[in-house]
Amino acid sequence: MPHLNIEYSANLEDALDIQALVDQIHETALGTGIFPLGGVRTRAEARKHYRIANGDPRAGYIHMMVRIGSGRDAETRRSAGDRIFAALCEFTHEEFESRPLALSFELHEIPPEMAWRKNNLHELLKKESSQ
C-alpha cells in the first residue's frame, strides 16, 4: 500500500501531462519514506461525463483518493497526505491560475480485516536489488 487513485475531468487531458502527474505523485508517495516500493500503485482515470459548478466548459477537477494499510499514526498519515496534496497543487499550479479548477484529496485507512492481498512484487524487488 498505498493505492493512489487520480480521477480527473477529461477536459484536462490537453492541458496537463497526465502520465507526468502520475509519475510525480508516485515519486512523492515513495519520498515520504513510509510506503514500500512494492506496494505503491498509482493510476489515473479521466471522466468523460461530468458537470462542474455552473457548467463552465473550461472548469476542471482532479480528485485524489489514497488508500493505505492500517497501522500508521495520525501524524504520519497527515504528513504523507500533506506532501502528496502539495505535489498535486504544485503540478497543477499554472492551470489553477488560468482556469476554474477544483482539487480535492482524501486519505483513507483500509481496515485489515477487510483487505485481501496477493503480491509477489516485494520478493521480485528484493531479488533485483541483490543482483
pLDDT of residue 130: 81
Of residues 122 and 103, more confidence is placed in: 103
Nine-digit cell string for 131 = 543482483
Instruction: Return the pLDDT at 15.
Output: 97
Statement: residue 109 has pLDDT above 80: yes
- 1 has pLDDT over 80: no
Q: How far apart are CA 127 and CA 131, in angstroms?
A: 7
Residue-level pLDDT at 126: 83
User: Left (φ > 0), alpha (ψ -120 to 50) or beta: where does 65 sit?
Assistant: beta
Beta bridge partners, 106, equal 65
Task: Give the end-to-end CA distance of the chain in Å, rounded to a whole number.
Answer: 25
**pLDDT tens for residues 58-71?**
999 999 999 999 99
Give residue 90's pLDDT band: very low, low, confident or very high (50, 70, 90). Answer: very high
* Nearest-angstrom CA–CA distance, 62 and 9: 7
Which contiguous run of DSSP H or E holds residue 113?
Answer: none
Percent of the chain with pLDDT over 70: 100
In angstroms, the CA 62 to CA 37 distance is: 24
- pLDDT, position 129: 81
Where residue 94 falls among pLDDT bands split at 50, 70, 90? very high
Tell me which residues are annotated as active site.
Answer: 2
Instruction: Flag whether pLDDT at 116 surpasses 80.
Output: yes
